[in-house]
């Protein structure tokens, strides 16, 4: 039954941030934000858990820029865990658990290990004690694959360092001895870790990278709401996952709430993001179930048809507002998920109370995302599809839309489409433009931090004429800007 006074809800294009007195330059702002009470990001960006957006390459690129990638679940749990592991092993301040071999391994076995993990050297142990190292240089001219590691490894004049050495002294040792790997040993000669020159170079190249306490890149992974959630969660934890997302189109449902309770019961210290919701009541239910962060958005995504197919949803700015009103009482952060077309919407979402933004379509066209690049009518594109599209549901995401029990694929009711997005080049370039726009917005508002933007933001409602005025008008664009597209 319709109430007498139906509430009006707003989305990004309905509102604009008001400029205010400012002493802040865009280059001076801090973009660090709180994702949970135990995880901070240096950039408030998260790549969506979609099979056309986030696998290990995207997650690595996101973390290097200070954000976070969520590995999608449209694959076997073994493959998903491997994707997580590839992110965690991609770089480190010091590798705590390096892959090792013994003197009895064959050259062929070592070469397989190196190829599998894309590494160029392996410490050699005898009863846990370091006795040598075998590298590509040791194997370069070996023609007999059956030779043992003990016959070809470097064992004399090993350059080692004691536990506790800092990165600057490590770099000096690597440079002095012209080596690429520094072996870290304890007082008993047992191997404790490994520092590589590549990792030191990455620390310098990506100073704002989002990392864990051991210097490894942060990574998240999506979990479904099935009965195997605890078993799957264990495999992800074993792979080193930092945070999991209990992923559903309708987070305010009994199955999702039970799934959150299960995963928190099994892994109390594992941070959990849960969603999606669009109301204060849904937000509170997830928080009470144990969610450490709540994801907001029902139907705002470019490839989502939920609002049309199901007739359900709340325009995104109002959904954020409703969620934040409740979540702030529990000191739980909010993620705005979906509907981002330009960098200005980042500033609006955070000004509305969100702590971070999840993005799919703007990242889907980058080099790092899964899928093939193809030409269409002279322009380059990449495929992009919603997790509610038929193709994604057939591959495994039907449980996200509570249709996992449907055996006939012809009976699936999709809530998303499959399409294409313009090719955008390296993900780092897209992130640079998005964060640059956010910095500008913070400068206009006079906010030096994400938290200040959340507190200081003031909005005005605009008309359709105001929206037209906001966009490029009365001119034909002859050269596209990297951060603005009309379609």
Per-residue confidence at 125, pLDDT binned at 50, 70, 90?
very high
Alpha-carbon radius of gyration of the chain: 25
For residue 297, CA distances in Å to 143, 249, 275 come to 59, 9, 8
pLDDT over 70 at 409, yes or no:
no
Residue 360: give the domain boundaries: 12-90+217-470
Whether residue 197 is found in the same domain as residue 234: no
pLDDT over 80 at 188, yes or no:
yes
Which one has a higher pLDDT value, 322 or 181? 322
Separation between Cα atoms, residue 416 and residue 388, nearest integer Å = 4
Residue 304: its pLDDT value, please? 93
Whether residue 320 is found in the same domain as residue 364: yes
pLDDT over 90 at 415, yes or no:
no
Whether residue 190 is found in the same domain as residue 232: no
pLDDT over 90 at 402, yes or no:
no
In a domain, 1, yes or no: no
pLDDT over 90 at 241, yes or no:
yes
Whether residue 55 is found in the same domain as residue 166: no
pLDDT over 70 at 223, yes or no:
yes
pLDDT over 80 at 407, yes or no:
no
Q: What is the pLDDT of residues 295-343, one digit of tens each?
A: 999 999 999 999 999 999 999 999 999 999 999 999 999 999 999 999 9
pLDDT over 70 at 487, yes or no:
no
Annotated catalytic residue 18: no
Q: What is the pLDDT of residues 148-159, one digit of tens each?
A: 988 889 888 888
Whether residue 160 is found in the same domain as residue 130: yes
Choose the catalytic residue: 64, 216, 400, 424. 400
Mean pLDDT value across the chain: 92
pLDDT over 90 at 451, yes or no:
yes
Whether residue 162 is found in the same domain as residue 251: no
Whether residue 78 is found in the same domain as residue 114: no
Whether residue 264 is found in the same domain as residue 165: no
CATH number of the domain to which 39 belongs: 3.20.20.70
Residue 471: its pLDDT value, please? 93
Residue 397: its pLDDT value, please? 64
Separation between Cα atoms, residue 234 and residue 258, nearest integer Å = 17
Maximum Cα–Cα distance for the chain, whole Å? 86
pLDDT over 90 at 382, yes or no:
yes
Annotated catalytic residue 304: yes
Separation between Cα atoms, residue 134 and residue 107, nearest integer Å = 10
Q: Which of 48-52, 76-80, 194-198, 473-477 has the lowest mean pLDDT?
A: 194-198
Residue 408: its pLDDT value, please? 59
Whether residue 181 is found in the same domain as residue 57: no
Separation between Cα atoms, residue 10 and residue 407, nearest integer Å = 39
Whether residue 248 is found in the same domain as residue 334: yes
Please check whether residue 225 is in contact with residue 256, taking contact to mean a CB–CB distance below 8 angstroms.
yes
CATH number of the domain to which 115 belongs: 3.10.580.10
Verdict on whether the full-model pTM lies above 0.85: yes
Choose the catalytic residue: 86, 304, 424, 439. 304
Separation between Cα atoms, residue 34 and residue 211, nearest integer Å = 14
For 44-59, what is the mean pLDDT?
97
* Single residue among 205, 239, 263 that ends a domain in this structure: 205
In a domain, 442, yes or no: yes
pLDDT over 70 at 406, yes or no:
no
Find all residues with CB under 8 Å of 121, minimum gap 6, and list them: 114, 133, 134, 135, 136, 180, 181
Whether residue 233 is found in the same domain as residue 177: no
């Amino acid at each position: 039954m319709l109430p007498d006074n139906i509430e009006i809800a707003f989305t990004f294009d309905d509102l604009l941030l008001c400029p205010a007195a400012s002493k802040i330059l865009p280059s001076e702002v801090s973009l660090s934000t709180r994702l949970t009470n135990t995880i901070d990001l240096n950039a408030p960006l998260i790549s969506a858990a979609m099979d056309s957006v986030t696998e290990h390459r995207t997650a690595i690129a996101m973390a290097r820029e200070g954000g976070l990638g969520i590995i999608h679940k449209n694959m076997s749990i073994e493959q998903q865990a491997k994707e997580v592991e590839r992110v965690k092993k991609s770089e480190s301040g010091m590798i705590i658990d390096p892959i090792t071999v013994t003197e009895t391994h064959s050259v062929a076995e070592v070469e397989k290990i190196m190829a599998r993990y894309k590494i160029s050297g392996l410490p050699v142990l005898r009863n846990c004690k370091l006795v040598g190292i075998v590298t590509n240089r040791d194997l370069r001219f070996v023609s007999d694959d059956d030779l043992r590691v003990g016959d070809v490894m470097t064992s004399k004049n090993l350059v080692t360092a004691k536990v506790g050495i800092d990165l600057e002294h490590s770099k000096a040792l690597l440079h002095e001895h012209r080596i690429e790997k520094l072996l870290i040993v304890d007082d008993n000669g047992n191997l404790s870790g490994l520092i590589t020159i590549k990792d030191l170079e990455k620390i310098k190249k990506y100073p704002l990278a989002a990392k864990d306490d051991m210097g490894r890149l942060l990574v998240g992974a999506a979990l479904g709401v099935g009965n195997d959630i605890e078993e799957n969660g264990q495999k992800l934890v074993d792979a080193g996952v930092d945070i999991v997302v209990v992923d559903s189109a309708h987070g305010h449902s009994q199955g999702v709430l039970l799934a959150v309770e299960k995963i928190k019961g099994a892994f109390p210290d594992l941070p959990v993001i849960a969603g999606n919701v669009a109301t204060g009541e849904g937000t509170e239910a997830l928080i009470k179930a144990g969610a450490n962060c709540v994801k907001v958005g029902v139907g705002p995504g470019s490839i989502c048809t939920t609002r049309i197919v199901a007739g359900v949803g709340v325009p995104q700015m109002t959904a954020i507002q409703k969620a934040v009103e409740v979540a702030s009482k529990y000191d739980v952060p909010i993620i705005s998920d979906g509907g981002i077309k330009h960098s200005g919407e980042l500033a609006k979402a955070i000004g509305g109370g969100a702590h971070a933004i999840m993005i799919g379509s703007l990242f889907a066209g980058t080099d790092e995302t899964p899928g093939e690049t193809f030409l269409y009518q002279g322009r380059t594109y990449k495929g992009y599809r919603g997790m509610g599209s038929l193709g994604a549901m057939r591959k495994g995401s039907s449980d996200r839309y509570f249709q996992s029990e449907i055996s006939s694929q012809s009976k699936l009711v999709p809530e998303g489409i499959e399409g294409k997005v313009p090719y955008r080049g390296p993900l780092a370039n897209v992130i640079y433009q998005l964060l640059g726009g956010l910095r500008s917005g913070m400068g206009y508002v006079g906010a030096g931090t994400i938290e200040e933007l959340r507190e200081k933001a003031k909005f005005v409602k605009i008309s359709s004429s105001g929206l037209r005025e906001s966009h490029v008008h009365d001119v034909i664009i002859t050269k596209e800007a990297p951060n603005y597209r009309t379609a």
